[in-house]
Amino acid sequence: MSEQTINKALWENIPKENKDAEVISRPSMTYWQDAWRRLKKNKLSMLGLLFIFFMVMTAIIGPYVISHDYSTQQLQLANIPPKIDIYKVDDATYIYMHSEYKLFNVTADGLLSDKIKETENDLTNRKRVYNIDGNEVVLDYSYASKKVEENPDGVKFKLFMNGEEMKVYDSVHNKSYVLGTDGLGRDMLARVIYGARISLLIAFIATVVNFFIGVLYGGVSGYFGGRVDNLMMRIVDIINVIPLLLYVILLSVIIGSGLKSIIIALGSVYWVSMARIVRGQVLSLKEQEYVLAARTLGASSMRIMIRHLIPNAMGPIIVSMTMLIPSAIFTEAFLSFIGLGVNAPLASWGTLANDALGGLRSYPYQLFYPSLAISVTMLAFNFLGDGLRDALDPRLRK
């Protein structure tokens, strides 16, 4: 057998760039791993997620860390703002002048002590006299009733020590009550933190109800279609027509107002939007080939819906749940604000805002902090929902 010679000129080495062309540059990622990778690139969504985690941890741990209780009343310390003006009596003694014409001992860094008892109270001339460490301090609050011509600067009071007018020594943060106190002397920080518990409880209930009732109801309606779908959607229409406020009022009449009536009302009607979304997803997915294959292999309708249809619709479900959570928080705050929410002494962001209305002009901080908590929490969930919507969209997968 003759040997054939191979011409070496017909052969050449493969260039390195062609050699590495088939090498997998990065490991294969699942759908959820890729969604998490894209979510992490959205800075606003991650900021919202971090704030939600911070709020959850604060609501759980906060009441055990802070020194004041949300329901303890100290009437003599009512309506003290988070930032106070202090006056210096001597190097070791400082006083705080309350807007209700009361004097308190305070440290130089803003730690409140006890109320100072006056030695003389002249109601006719609107003056109070105090003896503080051997110094005579006179509080003259007659300026508040003087005419504009007599009091052009709008001064409401003046403090005199040993005959000389006292000036504000420093403006410091309230170390005893970081966010101040309300009209009954309760710690605003403790009440805002406890209000977070109520709002997050409502958010958790809305999530559970949406997932277990809305997803199952919408899945059954979309999968079976026909008369079943028509009947189930008409029930949804009837529920959706009746306003949520009417549900809460009726429940308040039957079982009384409070958190229980809000929970039952949300659990009764809040799954309707989710059911519509899931129905639409199932209607589009049930005609896919993998559903036909599962049906051909003898899979039951419940197995097809739980193992195939709902998992493939999980992206829109998660996004919808994330978007509905801030709506539930705002609904609870609104119902509490109009008096249909939690009862005293429980604290809710809505009830805090309602309690602050009476002294809005004098103590605006009492409305500012619960309103800020509601706004920032809703923004955080909306940012997270926007990021999830982009991250879970398979059309944007790269």
Residue pLDDT, tens place only, 1-58: 556 676 776 677 766 666 555 555 566 677 778 888 888 888 999 999 999 999 999 9
pLDDT-based confidence at 376, cuts 50/70/90? very high
The three-class DSSP label of residue 138 is strand
pLDDT (mean) for 104-108: 90
Could you read off the pLDDT of 149-204 as tens digits, one per residue?
Answer: 666 667 788 888 888 888 888 899 998 899 999 888 899 999 999 889 888 888 88
Residue 159, H or E segment: strand 158-161
- My answer on whether 196 and 339 are in the same domain is yes
Q: What is the pLDDT of residue 102?
A: 86
Q: State which residues form the domain around 371.
A: 188-396
Percentage of residues in the chain with pLDDT exceeding 90? 11
- My answer on whether 152 and 270 are in the same domain is no
Q: What is the pLDDT of residue 23?
A: 57
DSSP letters along 304-341, please?
HIIIIIHHHTHHHHHHHHHHHHHHHHHHHHHHHHTT-S
Among the ranges given (64-78, 136-150, 163-177), the one the predictor scored with the smallest mean pLDDT: 136-150
Which of the listed residues 107, 139, 173 is the one where a domain comes to its end?
173
- My answer on whether 195 and 153 are in the same domain is no
Which of the listed residues 140, 173, 206 is the one where a domain comes to its end?
173
- My answer on whether 211 and 138 are in the same domain is no
Q: Tell me if 10 is assigned to some domain.
A: no
pLDDT (mean) for 74-103: 88
More confident of the two residues 127 and 394: 127
**Entry pTM:** 0.81
More confident of the two residues 279 and 210: 279
30 C-beta neighbours (distance < 10 Å), count: 8
Could you read off the pLDDT of 210-252 as tens digits, one per residue?
Answer: 788 888 899 899 888 889 889 999 998 888 888 877 877 787 7
Q: Tell me if 25 is assigned to some domain.
A: no
The three-class DSSP label of residue 206 is helix
Q: Tell me if 2 is assigned to some domain.
A: no
Number of domains, the chain? 2
Contact 381, 322 (CB under 8 A): yes
Q: Tell me if 205 is assigned to some domain.
A: yes
Q: Tell me if 157 is assigned to some domain.
A: yes
pLDDT-based confidence at 368, cuts 50/70/90? very high
Which of the listed residues 124, 149, 173 is the one where a domain comes to its end?
173
pLDDT-based confidence at 256, cuts 50/70/90? confident
Could you read off the pLDDT of 307-331 as tens digits, one per residue?
Answer: 888 888 888 888 888 888 888 888 8
Residue 160, H or E segment: strand 158-161
Q: What is the pLDDT of residue 20?
A: 59
Nearest residue to 380 via CA among 302, 325, 309, 320? 325
Residues 6+ apart with CB under 8 A from 315: 35, 392, 393, 394
- My answer on whether 323 and 268 are in the same domain is yes
User: In whole numbers, what is the pLDDT of the chain averaged over residues?
Assistant: 83
Q: Tell me if 20 is assigned to some domain.
A: no
Nearest residue to 194 via CA among 72, 91, 277, 107? 72
- My answer on whether 132 and 249 are in the same domain is no
Q: Tell me if 89 is assigned to some domain.
A: yes
